[in-house]
Structure 1
């Protein structure tokens, strides 16, 4: 269909009709190059446009936001009187509808109706408080104000990006998680537990890191002592299971939330969609996208321990027809720490360009640059007898002479794109690709042993003066919908490829000085001269996958059938005393395997879903710091649960029971923290509850609870004394850092009336006792910490200004959130304050 694609505001008529609403239709047609100030031209009649159908997922809520979302999906622009619509609500739109059917449903119960108007080839939609009909011109349309995309009503729309800069998303996730699930299937119809941390959640809690954003807001997620950004999901490590816009970001450190729109956590083995990974789940960071409406934000944050953080966010159109958009997010960050000697400095900038030249094609190109310098803070902290040593939580036990004088540094550049082409209303092709190049300089201290009587800790250290990580990832998905008799099919067929390579690097593993933990001499000289080690390492895998979501019985039953086949390669230098040996012994191991996924959803009511799934996964071959390639992990899960929506779909409840088994589980070698051991088989069995969203226009909540029994099923056969002295896992033992019960609660109140703009929130995070090592020889005590927030939004000289204060660990509780061995215990952060001032325009 030839024509021009325009995306600009539509002028209204002349009469004064304060209760009249107008929707101006902008023709979403084929690629064109010229721009006009006249209304868009359409080669279809109003009646034809009214009958055009597509799929909608518009949440219930205030009417203005719903109309805006409807207009965006149809290439329309809306003009309306905000005084008329500001207090009106809609039931939303969920399913396939023609334009006229969709408008009827959105306006149901509002006392408003709609009608088309056509003047020549101009297509307009006009909403008015009168009978609907089809007019032959635009006469009778009122002079109306343009859409106020920053109106208060728009911030309240549930389950979708809203408000200035798409910041006011609420806590309730969008109805779909299309980037993570790779389809537009609603979460309510997906037989998998998916939790989403929204942009507003991150802003309300001033969550700077990915870890902070996830741990207190998603069930089943706990901290894990590590050099990389690794968490534990349902009791198992997330190593190799962290993605950015659906593509793996391998061996990454220090994830920041500056350019994130949301963080999706897909529970259980997800190999069918993402390849070889841990069975606990997947973390997918969804990036902010450019907007057609210009938006600019500057925020300054100040906090405890000298923290200062400046962020910018700018977006808008590049071309007048808005077919090319941009967005730039940037950050400068510096802080010291409650831990002695620890500092952190970072610069981050992330521009994005979006292309939408024709209605069927959309493309985003992302760039990221990160430069970070920090003093390493590996959590060396010993246990004494049955609990953590009685030491100040600020005590720093790494070799400070090395780590402070030679701080770590990473310089990372990443480029990625994703594009989608709609072959037809029911079929599309999506391709994603990313490439990241990271230059690293790291040095770390490791504990070797601890004499409880004398307090002397023996240590080693590693020194890597420079190495490079190259990570390439791509996939291609074909999605389609069709019917075979009474069965409706939604299929996904795809291919992906991942390639990690670290060229020849030079490092050293050295002896370090011993230190008395009770009377430390942190500045002992460390001899960094030693035998060099040369290493090359890499991984590759390729996978093909397919799934079919079959719906029937009036769309109340959904059956998911899927499977994936992987070919994997893991390589590392086996001998590393010279560059020649490193290159000549760069040997690979190979694996392949099939990973099935089966699931079913029964939806007896639109607000209630019962689901179950069975999945298997071929895990990754991890390579230890000793250069040993470990056998691949294999995971298997049975899961069942329910999902329910309350308060006009404003609140989402997910309850899940899961039983996961995993073979070849890696654990830290207690006699050498550089090394890794495997236990035969482990199981994570428990249930989770997540409740997120808005109760009404004032109250919002995030609540979750986890009961999880994570233990070794097949371990090392030994006696209890040997298990303690050798620190090995035995059958029946609990995996370290795995509390049986833990949960979080966060409640927010947005004031009305004279106090409009004021928000107050508070929450608690609590955990039961947990065992700290594989031999189960000591206990981390239970704890609960309280957090709070107060914010005020107002308008000053046309600028939206938000002042906010967050306090974490209000009671200044001493606690230990996780541990890996008797020498590696993570300490909890003391009471901290963080204030911010944000200006938006």
Structure 2
């Protein structure tokens, strides 16, 4: 009996934008539009799913491809890069997939799966051309836009990602990675109109936003611990800790200790933004966003070949931001990021990128906490004042400029040996003109001066330089039936930081009164010319080597082991807060340390859809606090973590889940919290459960959801022994989120999308003494969008309403200032892609 066959067509990319989702189909493979077999063409098709690789091959070769969906579903292609004939390129594209294309004398094309042969009749072409195959079919289906292996494609809608490099520094399937790694792709960023890192991180379990310095630094609390060095870019430490998302492809979050690969850092984990790369397929887009509080943001992207014959591609991403706030502050920013990539040979690629970030913003100290029952009672609370009340001068502006250059080389010696190396340099310069509050002076209810607080100024420049160089070699081999992927690498890192500031009292204001006096021009002139009060300098230099082996037994059991050896040199130079001559050295301290960071992890693939993992790792953190004054420098403070959990996937990887239990202990040098100055050395403990689920539930419906249980405790507090046994600040016991989006892919509503999400958090303490708390809250966000093709272009419109229920919560920092989260806000956008 003749089988009727459904077929998947691999069209040119502009047609792929309208792709629909179907279950795996039994269909035929055909090649049309004859091309001379000996006419070499340059191909740049990256490793990805076989389905999408065939889409790109169709575009670059001019051939129409149809493939058996049952055989190609879930199969990954190693890609093809270089100058090849069409036949050679197709053969390389199919290498290792279990499929092959053969031309016989009678023009027959044969697909040869591992288990059997499927022969499809074809018509003979003239000359040395690939044969044309004809197939009897009853339907046409385009490639899948929800493919989790191809999230780099500009039109991909997947909420799940199949592979990550952050946890192992090798391209490893997440289902084979024995660690908690969450990846938020750009489709989520687009649907939620994210433009800040905090907008992305709300979709990850166990992470809380914790701004510092008036919101000028993006810092976070992860697994209960404050992260001061948690921001990375493409896996490289980025101490500037301020981002624009215009060139971000995805955001990867690695939970827990990670010193084995990344050296000194924070115990709770880190966040790495992965940037967009040049493509040989032209793509252009422009988007305009507008919204509440005079929000205005423009994004422009362009990529394509500069010289396809020579393998030279470019990318340019830029953005402009201008917005005010419900708190009478404003911010404007210009960001642009050009990137060039050059395929020197089929095995060697050079990439050069640059980023420029220039922002002006108002410093916002937030809302203070006060001890309502009198000083020392511990009965503190966030001041009961309107959340839009500020104590700043809106005419004062901080400037923040960052320039970053990144050079990388990737070379493939053969299928088993690969090398990548590079250097990243960044320079960040700020100039502070800020007003902040000191501790509330009169805290006696009923007093005539109840709520009085000193308002102070902080003026002066700040500068940071950072340099990282690295080299990694990856070696794949097999011994006695055991597969090895060995990573051998080295890293050099240098960071020097300093600032020169003048500070002092401006006046006394009352936090319960609406009117705050303006700062006069005479006062500004005085502050800008005042002699410096404080000029600290710090420098950190580290050199490291590391070795990691990912071993696979019986194709199911994955054992990871490795270590890193770091040499760390640190120095700090303080001038006194109160020294009239800031050039007088108050104290210069320096020390050298070395540290060995081990890691061992095990993962077992119980089934195709379920993995079980466990791990042990350590880390060590730097011990700087620029406010503690001169003293003998302490050593590097360690952290240890045990972690275990489950990973699951369904629907060919379109739906993924990660469930983890962890136990983490860290000795840390300081913690911003408490009524008064930063605390002395303390030891903290955190354990808990984290659940992350993301992907496509069924056709058109995507979700990303989290739940977190975090149990924290202060084990030791030298300065305040009474804090022992209390919870670490900022981290709630319970936290969760759920975002759903539905795409109408058929019928009269085709092109429309609807979405919404709820973000919840239990109460969080604001200091080590647990003296004040931000209450629990639940926030509702909504979105609606519409997308339509206009010839070769795609037009998208979208509106997002955040905090629909106007929930009140605060981004806690310390008693002096806690930033109120935004009330109900509306953001609209219109986007054109080609």
User: If the length of structure 2 is used for normalisation, what is the TM-score?
Assistant: 0.84
- Alpha carbons of structure 1 residues 422 and 124: separation in structure 2 relative to 1, 3 Å: farther
Alpha-carbon separation, structure 2, partners of 1:681 and 1:25? 70
SS in 2 for 1:471: strand
Q: Verify: 1:536 aligned to 2:537, yes or no.
A: yes
Residue 614 (structure 1) shift: 0.4
Alignment of 1:643-654 (within 5 A): 643-654=647-658
Contact 1:118 1:138 (8 Å CA) reproduced: no
Q: Verify: 1:820 aligned to 2:813, yes or no.
A: yes
Alpha-carbon separation, structure 2, partners of 1:142 and 1:429? 40
Residue 405 (structure 1) shift: 3.3
Alignment of 1:709-724 (within 5 A): 709-716=711-718
Contact 2:421 2:470 (8 Å CA) reproduced: yes
The answer for the alignment partner of 1:548 in structure 2 is 549
Alignment of 1:628-643 (within 5 A): 628=630, 631-643=635-647
Contact 1:573 1:627 (8 Å CA) reproduced: no
Deviation string 1:718-743 (CA, Å, 9 cap, x unpaired) is 68xxx5xxxxxx11111111100001
The answer for the alignment partner of 1:424 in structure 2 is 414
1:479 to 457, 474, 480: 474
Residue 571 (structure 1) shift: 1.8
1:668 to 661, 665, 672: 672
Alignment of 1:12-51 (within 5 A): 21-22=30-31, 39-40=39-40
The answer for the alignment partner of 2:87 in structure 1 is none
Residue 388 (structure 1) shift: 2.5
- Alpha carbons of structure 1 residues 101 and 499: separation in structure 2 relative to 1, 3 Å: closer
Q: Verify: 1:435 aligned to 2:425, yes or no.
A: yes
1:80 to 53, 64, 74: 64
CA RMSD of aligned residues (A): 3.7
1:832 to 821, 825, 828: 825
Residue 180 (structure 1) shift: 5.5
Alpha-carbon separation, structure 2, partners of 1:369 and 1:757? 36
Residue 522 (structure 1) shift: 2.3
The answer for the alignment partner of 1:274 in structure 2 is 262
SS in 2 for 1:212: helix
Residue 437 (structure 1) shift: 1.4
Residue 378 (structure 1) shift: 2.9
Residue 25 (structure 1) shift: 12
Alpha-carbon separation, structure 2, partners of 1:251 and 1:484? 44
Contact 1:743 1:766 (8 Å CA) reproduced: yes
- Alpha carbons of structure 1 residues 680 and 468: separation in structure 2 relative to 1, 3 Å: closer
The answer for the alignment partner of 1:299 in structure 2 is 287
Contact 2:536 2:626 (8 Å CA) reproduced: no
Alpha-carbon separation, structure 1, partners of 2:775 and 2:459? 36
Q: Verify: 1:232 aligned to 2:221, yes or no.
A: yes
Alignment of 1:450-465 (within 5 A): 450-452=441-443, 453=445, 454-459=449-454, 461=456, 463-465=458-460
Residue 745 (structure 1) shift: 0.3
2:797 to 803, 811, 820: 803
1:339 to 319, 327, 342: 327
Alpha-carbon separation, structure 2, partners of 1:55 and 1:604? 30
Q: Verify: 1:700 aligned to 2:702, yes or no.
A: yes
Alignment of 1:411-810 (within 5 A): 411-444=401-434, 445-452=436-443, 453=445, 454-459=449-454, 461=456, 463-502=458-497, 505-525=499-519, 528=527, 530-533=530-533, 534-552=535-553, 554-575=554-575, 577=579, 581=583, 585-628=587-630, 631-668=635-672, 670=674, 672=676, 675-716=677-718, 730-754=723-747, 755-810=749-804
Alpha-carbon separation, structure 1, partners of 2:124 and 2:544? 53
Residue 21 (structure 1) shift: 2.6
Residue 102 (structure 1) shift: 8.1
- Alpha carbons of structure 1 residues 648 and 64: separation in structure 2 relative to 1, 3 Å: closer
Residue 126 (structure 1) shift: 13
Contact 1:115 1:133 (8 Å CA) reproduced: no
Deviation string 1:452-494 (CA, Å, 9 cap, x unpaired) is 3244243464534223211111211111111111211111111
Alpha-carbon separation, structure 2, partners of 1:432 and 1:634? 29
Residue 239 (structure 1) shift: 1.3
Q: Verify: 1:141 aligned to 2:129, yes or no.
A: no
The answer for the alignment partner of 1:369 in structure 2 is 356
Alpha-carbon separation, structure 2, partners of 1:190 and 1:771? 34
Residue 623 (structure 1) shift: 3.1
2:181 to 165, 176, 194: 194
2:74 to 92, 96, 106: 92
SS in 1 for 2:228: coil
Contact 2:509 2:516 (8 Å CA) reproduced: yes
SS in 2 for 1:379: coil
2:208 to 218, 222, 237: 222
Residue 759 (structure 1) shift: 0.9
Residue 681 (structure 1) shift: 0.8
2:383 to 389, 410, 421: 389
- Alpha carbons of structure 1 residues 396 and 660: separation in structure 2 relative to 1, 3 Å: same
The answer for the alignment partner of 1:170 in structure 2 is 158
Contact 2:52 2:150 (8 Å CA) reproduced: no
Contact 2:714 2:726 (8 Å CA) reproduced: yes
* Number of residue-to-residue matches in the alignment: 762
Residue 813 (structure 1) shift: 1.7
- Alpha carbons of structure 1 residues 366 and 457: separation in structure 2 relative to 1, 3 Å: farther
Higher mean C-alpha deviation, range 238-247 or range 638-647: 238-247
Residue 41 (structure 1) shift: 7.6
Deviation string 1:488-530 (CA, Å, 9 cap, x unpaired) is 1111111111111236x43123224222111044235466265
Alpha-carbon separation, structure 1, partners of 2:182 and 2:317? 25
Residue 212 (structure 1) shift: 1.0
Alpha-carbon separation, structure 2, partners of 1:648 and 1:493? 32
The answer for the alignment partner of 2:376 in structure 1 is none
SS in 1 for 2:799: strand
SS in 2 for 1:739: coil
SS in 2 for 1:666: coil
Q: Verify: 1:159 aligned to 2:149, yes or no.
A: yes
SS in 2 for 1:273: helix
- Alpha carbons of structure 1 residues 212 and 627: separation in structure 2 relative to 1, 3 Å: farther
Deviation string 1:260-291 (CA, Å, 9 cap, x unpaired) is 00110011111111110001001111000011
Residue 351 (structure 1) shift: 0.4
Contact 2:28 2:120 (8 Å CA) reproduced: no
User: If the length of structure 1 is used for normalisation, what is the TM-score?
Assistant: 0.83
SS in 1 for 2:665: strand
Alpha-carbon separation, structure 2, partners of 1:218 and 1:421? 34
Unaligned runs of 5+ in 1: 1-8, 10-17, 27-35, 43-53, 145-150, 724-729
Residue 685 (structure 1) shift: 0.5
Alpha-carbon separation, structure 1, partners of 2:590 and 2:598? 26
Contact 1:654 1:691 (8 Å CA) reproduced: yes
Alpha-carbon separation, structure 2, partners of 1:206 and 1:520? 34
Contact 1:20 1:80 (8 Å CA) reproduced: no
SS in 2 for 1:213: helix
Unaligned runs of 5+ in 2: 1-11, 13-26, 81-89, 136-140, 373-378
Deviation string 1:523-546 (CA, Å, 9 cap, x unpaired) is 354662654133332221111111
Contact 2:287 2:830 (8 Å CA) reproduced: yes
- Alpha carbons of structure 1 residues 23 and 542: separation in structure 2 relative to 1, 3 Å: farther
The answer for the alignment partner of 1:357 in structure 2 is 344
Residue 677 (structure 1) shift: 2.3
Alpha-carbon separation, structure 2, partners of 1:693 and 1:353? 32
- Alpha carbons of structure 1 residues 321 and 95: separation in structure 2 relative to 1, 3 Å: closer
Alpha-carbon separation, structure 1, partners of 2:619 and 2:210? 22
Contact 1:441 1:464 (8 Å CA) reproduced: yes
